[in-house]
Amino acid sequence: MSIEPDQYPAMLNELRANFATGLTRELAWRDAQLQAIDRLLRENEEAIGKALASDLGKPPQEVLLGELALLYSGIAHTRKRLKRWARPRRVSTPAIGQPARSWVQPEPLGVVLILGAWNYPMQLVFGPLIPALAAGNCAVVKPSEVAAASSTLCAELIPKYLDDRAVRVVEGAVDETTELLRQRFDHIIYTGGAAVGKIVMRAASEHLTPVTLELGGKSPCVIDEGADLQSAARRIIWGKCINSGQSCIAPDYVLVSPQQRDDLVAAIGAELETMYGADRLGSADYASMINQRHFERVRGLLGSGTVAIGGKVDETRQRIEPTVLIDVAADAPVMQDEIFGPILPILTVADLDEAMAFILERDKPLAAYLFTKNKDSEKRFVETVSSGNMCINDVIMFMAVHELPFGGVGMSGMGQYHGKTGFDRLSHLKAVMKRGRFPEPPVRFAPYSKLKMKLLRLLG
Ligand code: NAD
């Protein structure tokens, strides 16, 4: 049964009361919830596959690769380390504070609100829920209404598997989210576009609630002189085509030298042929655009340059062929906002320096990619370009590394999660100092003196 907006205050009161009992603090409870998420996903793989096929035409292999496998390994990673992460973390105490012990004591925040996005509907609901529960919080989950079948499925499955005293699902769109955001939470983790990110942050400021904003942006992909073009082509076009380009860390556009451009385009053409054959719009391995609005939006970008590959659309299935655009001006429509669709503009730049200057002139992206064989180029790129995440010689694959924090910087978001970073993000890292009573050096107490000043400098 869906929770209606007029019930939100009562729902929050119940969750707060349950949190106050200490229920969610028990490590055994937390572990049981993580196991329950694992079971929920494994026992309902078929239903999840159907929901994702209905929402996005997601091929089964992409359901496994882009949604489930990351969650399974994320749960296993967290369960294995949870005890260690939750333990007090001893730190050293300087002489002035002696005798004492000092430590960081992770503690749960309270009730966390999770606002999911539609493009990876399972990953973006359960991905944040894993650290939220591991850290001992209660959670309210609002899946994106845009992926309607997945939202309904989450609302049906979560109460069946997870402890209703601590986890609730709210379904709905703008009105429901607006009402939800009027409530006081202890942390909000939002995934989606920047425009709504600002709404979330504004609402959170009313309660001084901290926010994690997982946004997007135009993630650039640079081809260095002498890079392995075949490997680059295969990896870039894979990253562009999975979920039909509707991935926040999809390579958005490519920067390459004029000398290498045509070879890169040819290599991408060959890779597309291998991956999807001639009938790409009809391929069972290729997802659709989420809805008519996004289909029209992305179709409108096809005219932003010369179509080198692709360009066809299937209106009935809301599909857009993987499309490579060349002769794209830096201020063309396709270069204004995140594309979030299977169009790859390829722009030419003289060299790596010009490519890096091009990136630095724009908003900081969620991910930045470089293909190179040159160690010096790699070093300069890593040290110069600011982005949420980075990958050298591939795209997206850092998602598989749970020890790497994930999240944006600047306009691509704030706050990171995944692995221990997620646990820490959704915990309060309470600083504790326990002082011994003896000895009690008089140095910090009045009456002050020159000698005490000297000693203070020494002990500092
Ligand atoms: P969306 O439309 O699903 O919206 C996200 C959430 O915001 C939903 O829960 C929705 O109900 C809520 N929402 C929408 N309008 C609202 C309003 N006016 N007031 C309050 N809440 C509202 O998703 P979207 O914004 O289309 O998502 C696409 C964007 O998300 C892209 O920019 C993509 O890069 C980004 N993204 C980021 C990540 C990440 O992990 N950083 C992952 C996936 C997507």
Mean pLDDT, to the nearest integer, of 316-338? 97
pLDDT reported for residue 1: 62
Mean pLDDT, to the nearest integer, of 72-101? 96
Residue whose Cα lies nearest atom 14 of ligand 1: it is: 174
pLDDT above 70 (res 329): yes
pLDDT above 80 (res 126): yes
Separation of CA 193 and ligand 1 centre (Å): 5
Tens-place pLDDT, residues 84-97: 999 999 999 998 89
Which of 191, 366, 399, when mutated, tests ligand 1's pocket best, judged by the most ligand atoms within 8 Å of its CB? 191
pLDDT reported for residue 441: 85
DSSP state of 406: B
Tens-place pLDDT, residues 143-166: 999 999 999 999 999 999 999 999
pLDDT above 70 (res 322): yes
DSSP state of 207: T
Whether a cis peptide bond, with omega within 30° of 0, leads into 322 is: no
Which of 56, 70, 119, when mutated, tests ligand 1's pocket best, judged by the most ligand atoms within 8 Å of its CB? 119
81, 420 contact by CB (below 8 A): yes
95 lines ligand 1 (CB under 6 A): no
155 lines ligand 1 (CB under 6 A): no
Query: Quick one: what percent of the chain has pLDDT higher than 70?
Result: 100
215 lines ligand 1 (CB under 6 A): yes
Strand partners, 432: 103
pLDDT above 90 (res 2): no
250 lines ligand 1 (CB under 6 A): no
* Residues contacting 138, CB < 8 A, separation 6+: 15, 16, 18, 19, 24, 110, 111, 112, 165, 166, 167
* Residues contacting 91, CB < 8 A, separation 6+: 102, 103, 104
Confidence of residue 440 (pLDDT cuts 50, 70, 90): confident
399 lines ligand 1 (CB under 6 A): no
Separation of CA 264 and ligand 1 centre (Å): 33
pLDDT reported for residue 25: 98
The structure tokens 């385009």 sit at 265
354, 377 contact by CB (below 8 A): no
Mean pLDDT, to the nearest integer, of 419-439? 96
Alpha-carbon distance 150 to 134, whole Å?
Answer: 23
Alpha-carbon distance 63 to 202, whole Å?
Answer: 34
67 in active site: no
Alpha-carbon distance 417 to 213, whole Å?
Answer: 10
Instruction: Tell me the three-class secondary structure of 105-143, residue by residue.
Output: EEEECCEEEEECCCCCCCHHHHHHHHHHHHCCCEEEEEC
Separation of CA 117 and ligand 1 centre (Å): 5
> Three-state SS for 281?
coil
pLDDT above 70 (res 256): yes
Q: What does 223-236 look like in DSSP terms, one character per residue?
A: E-TT--HHHHHHHH
Tens-place pLDDT, residues 295-316: 999 999 999 999 999 999 999 9
Q: Which helix (H) or strand (E) holds 367?
A: strand 367-371
**Annotated catalytic residue within 62, 67, 176, 214:** 214
Strand-pair category, 389-392 with 367-371: parallel
The ligand 1 atom at the shortest distance from the C-alpha of residue 146 is 3
115 lines ligand 1 (CB under 6 A): yes
Separation of CA 116 and ligand 1 centre (Å): 7
Domains and CATH numbers, the chain: 5-215+410-432 (3.40.605.10), 220-406 (3.40.309.10)
Which of 55, 122, 144, when mutated, tests ligand 1's pocket best, judged by the most ligand atoms within 8 Å of its CB? 144
Mean pLDDT, to the nearest integer, of 159-184? 98
Mean pLDDT, to the nearest integer, of 105-134? 98
Alpha-carbon distance 248 to 407, whole Å?
Answer: 10
Query: Quick one: what percent of the chain has pLDDT higher than 90?
Result: 96
**Annotated catalytic residue within 248, 271, 321, 338:** 248
φ/ψ bin of 411: left (φ > 0), alpha (ψ from -120 to 50), beta (otherwise): alpha
Separation of CA 59 and ligand 1 centre (Å): 22
What sign for the dihedral angle of Cα 327, 333, 335, 340?
negative
Alpha-carbon distance 368 to 117, whole Å?
Answer: 22
214 in active site: yes
How many Cβ atoms from other residues are within 10 Å of residue 416's Cβ?
Answer: 20
Rg (CA), the chain: 25
Separation of CA 190 and ligand 1 centre (Å): 7
The ligand 1 atom at the shortest distance from the C-alpha of residue 388 is 41
The ligand 1 atom at the shortest distance from the C-alpha of residue 145 is 11
How many Cβ atoms from other residues are within 10 Å of residue 208's Cβ?
Answer: 7
425, 415 contact by CB (below 8 A): yes
Confidence of residue 81 (pLDDT cuts 50, 70, 90): very high
Confidence of residue 219 (pLDDT cuts 50, 70, 90): very high
143, 125 contact by CB (below 8 A): yes
pLDDT reported for residue 458: 86
427, 107 contact by CB (below 8 A): yes
